[in-house]
Structures are given as C-alpha cells and as structure tokens.
Amino acid sequence: MIKIIIILSIFCSQVYAGSFKLEKLVDGFNKPWSLSFINKENVLVTEKSGDINFVNLNKKKIEKIEHNLDVLEDGQGGLLDILYKDNIVFVSYSENRSNGMSSTSVARAYLNKTKLNFKNIFRAEPPINSGYHFGSRLEIKNKHLYITAGERGEGMIAQDFTKHPGSIIRINMDGSIPDDNPKFTKNKNWLPEIFQIGVRNPQGMSLSPFDGKIYITNHGARGGDWFGTVNTGENYGWKILGWGGTNYSGIKIGPKWKPGFTKAIKYWVPSIAVSAMTIYKGKTFQEWNGDALITSLKDQSLRKIEFDKSKFISEKIIFKGNIGRIRDIKIHASGDLYLLSDQGGLWRMYK
C-alpha cells in the first residue's frame, strides 16, 4: 500500500533551535536499505530481502525491477547499497557463496527498468559463514569506486591485510585495480584492492564536495561508534583498539586510540548505532553546508556534526524518534533531504 502522509511542521526545540517539515512520500517497503537518485523525479530503492524498486516521486508509483543477483538474506546481510551514476547501477550485497557462506560483493549493470543484468566487479575474500557486519556502503571519487567491507564479526581479521573483510576497498568502476593503491605505493603486502584497514562495520560513506575527502561512519561494539575520514594505507585499529567500547561480554577491548592508528573525528560512547551519512551541500538548509549529517538506528536520530578538517567542533540532534530507525540519507537536487526508515517509509525533509 502506498500512503501519502504530510506532517506539516515538527519543532525540535529541545535539540535543534530551528524548524523543518517531514513528509512521508511512499510507504510499504520491506526493510529498505538504500536509495539513489536517477534524476529529480525518479529514485532507486533497495530492500534487504532482495528487491530493487524504481520509484517515481511525482506519481508515488513503485515498480519492481527484475535482476540476476544471488542474494543471501542472512542477519544483517541482504541486498544493501545502491548507487546510480551515468546510466550504470552499482549495488553491494551479501552474495550467496554456497553452504551458508557469503561475502560482501559488488556488481554493476546498465540501467534498465525491466531487468538489470548485473556482473560482479568485487567479492570480499574469503567468504564467511556469518550474518554480521557486511559494511557495504558505496561511493565514487575521481572514477574510482570505494566500498566498505565489514569484518563479518571476525574481529582481528580487520588487521589481516591479506583478507578483504574489515577494510575500505578502492577499485576502478569496471572492477580493475588502480595502479596507485597502497599495494603499489607503500604497503606491498596488502591485497591490491585494499585502501585502508582496521574497520568493524562501516555503514555510512560520503564524498565531501568541499574538500574532496571521503568520510565514513562505523559501528563500534558496546560503545565506540565513530565518524572519520578514509585515508590511503592507514589503519583504524579494530580489534586492537576499542574506540571507547567494550565487548558484549563487558570485557574491555582495547584503548580508544593510540599513536600509529587513524584517529576518528567524533566517537559515541554509548553507541547510537550509526548508519548512513552525507556531507551536506544545498539550498534548503544552507546553514548546514559543509556539515556532516549522520543517521542512527538504535537512537533513531538525525545528527549534525560541525567539524574543521580533523577537528570536531559541535554536534546537534536535529530530530530523534520521528520516523524510526533511519537506514539511509541522500540529498536531492533541490537541496531537500530524503531518508529511508527501517519501518518501510521514504521521507522528504524540507522547509
């Protein structure tokens, strides 16, 4: 069922001294995970269960697109991120590698509203029998595709540069490997696709139009969520570092940070279960230009982080609990914000 619900104005005076409007454009998605604009009127939306939806925003019409992906929905895994660029659709997903084994895989296809014929361009090796921590966010910078590959609940695998899980991946958009990746410049023992290691479960990633850097959000364990930058050949330290969190058993993991490892811009202890993010640039909320907008699952909040290079300045909660667990956030060409809720709604945020 498709519903159109307009909430005229929501004032969050306790957390944000401003006003905005939230409008639920489309409802009824089954565990939606990601959205990507094709143009001003049309958007692609993934559902974790495996469906890809073509949505017309003006008509509020949803059409399913057939595809050939072998998706294994297992725990946190399924059909995950989607990214449209120049008539090409990129997706990340937990690929069924047989006998319960799966990997964070990435495929591409030319846009077709009837059927998408995907071809894999990356598979995180080795495949693992786990439903945890796929990461799986995608971003493009300078004709390179960046991929977050979670550590699948395997902890110290994130320090093993001969395995993909627990790292940031950088490949060309056809799946080939850039000749200036760390393996060819500073870290000769690394797998050629690996750009950075030591992450746990990064589910947010965004290219800043202001400084050209890529920023990510990462889930900690019990505490230790963070927001930081992607840096060539560096190491965020998981599971040597705990980023302020502890194991679920209550045992301390390690120090928050120590020299020799990449330091995040902002940490959250206790965890808010950070999910998607974007660096805002637009007309609707001009006062936020250059700030990071970060969504959360457990906390069900949208947060604004003001920062200068690697220095954290301030954090404001824009709203909390209004639309449930927030899975994705994207900026429309108009400057309005579009958000996906785990509860199945596609929301527009505007003034």
Measured at the alpha carbon of residue 182, what is the angle toward residues 305 and 109, in degrees to the nearest 5? 75
Mean of all residue pLDDT scores within the chain: 94
Q: What class does CATH assign to 5-350?
A: mainly beta
Both structure tokens of 232: 């060539």
pLDDT at 341 exceeding the cut of 60: yes
Which residues touch 17 (CB under 8 Å, ≥6 apart)? none
- pLDDT value for 16: 62
Tell me the pTM.
Answer: 0.95
248 secondary structure, DSSP code: T
pLDDT at 39 exceeding the cut of 60: yes
Return the amino acid letter for 15.
V
Per domain, the residue ranges of the chain are 5-350
**HSE on the CB side for 308, CA within 13 Å?**
2
Both structure tokens of 331: 């900026």
Is 328 in contact with 295 (CB distance < 8 Å)?
A: yes
Is 294 in contact with 274 (CB distance < 8 Å)?
A: yes
pLDDT at 5 exceeding the cut of 70: no
Chain length of the chain? 351
Is 200 in contact with 254 (CB distance < 8 Å)?
A: no
Greatest pairwise CA separation for the chain in angstroms: 56
CA 171, CA 169: separation in Å to the nearest integer? 7
Range from 9-18, 63-72, 122-131, 224-233 carrying the lowest mean pLDDT: 9-18
Question: pLDDT tier at 186 (50, 70, 90 boundaries)?
Answer: very high
Question: pLDDT tier at 19 (50, 70, 90 boundaries)?
Answer: confident
